Amino acid sequence: MPSDEQDICIEGEHSDQLRIRPLRRCYPNQDDYWDGNWIESEIQVQAGGFEGAYHANLRSDDFENLNRELTALSQTLSGRATFSTMEEQLSFTMEGNGRGHIRISGQARDVVGTGNRLEFSLEMDQTYLPPILRALAAVLKKFPVRGSPDP
């Protein structure tokens, strides 16, 4: 998968990585919160001896939540930033130890509800956070959250 400015690449030690590439809105003509925020995405996981790639529909608000939590984590280097999706095709938690070391643990599922599941963990340090935050900003610029969940 070639790199793009909006690729969210979470690199770990030993060539481990989680790469999320948002491609396009699933329903580009919808402006409401529930339909207008779905984004077709490619996901690639490389962890230890395992490697896989699949497509999943993620949501703009998932990226917005991760951006908010990861911004806070990058300032204190402690706490958690979590990415979770409505259809449970990708979830992970980034947890800082307060000294610059970050552990990422998560789960990837290739098919909604019944698919194969890969649990993974990556280790990284704080120097990898700025590129991730820049990529999240690029994603949110291209795919801003539409509407509000409240009527």
Q: Given a cut of 80, is residue 125 above it in pLDDT?
A: yes
Q: How many domains does the chain have?
A: 1
Determine the residue type at 27. Y
Query: Does residue 84 lie in a domain region?
Result: yes
| Cβ atoms of 74 and 129 closer than 8 Å | yes
- pLDDT at position 1 is 47
Query: Does residue 3 lie in a domain region?
Result: no
Query: What is the average pLDDT score of the chain?
Result: 93
Query: Does residue 46 lie in a domain region?
Result: yes
Query: What residues form DSSP beta bridges with 38?
Result: 59
Query: Does residue 148 lie in a domain region?
Result: no
Q: Given a cut of 70, is residue 113 above it in pLDDT?
A: yes
Q: Given a cut of 60, is residue 132 above it in pLDDT?
A: yes
Q: Domain of residue 42: give its range.
A: 8-142
Query: Does residue 149 lie in a domain region?
Result: no
Residues in the chain: 151
Query: Does residue 60 lie in a domain region?
Result: yes
- pLDDT at position 3 is 55
Question: What is d(CA 9, CA 138) in angstroms, rounded to the nearest whole number?
Answer: 13
Q: Given a cut of 70, is residue 111 above it in pLDDT?
A: yes
Q: Given a cut of 80, is residue 117 above it in pLDDT?
A: yes
Question: What is d(CA 99, CA 114) in angstroms, rounded to the nearest whole number?
Answer: 39
Q: At what angle do helices 60-76 and 129-142 cross, to 10 degrees?
A: 150
Q: What's the mean pLDDT in 75-93?
A: 95
Tens-digit pLDDT profile for residues 5-55 = 789 999 988 889 999 999 999 999 999 999 999 999 999 999 999 999 999
Position 80 confidence tier, pLDDT thresholds 50, 70, 90: very high
Query: Does residue 85 lie in a domain region?
Result: yes
pTM of the model: 0.93
The CATH number for 56's domain is 2.30.31
Query: Does residue 71 lie in a domain region?
Result: yes
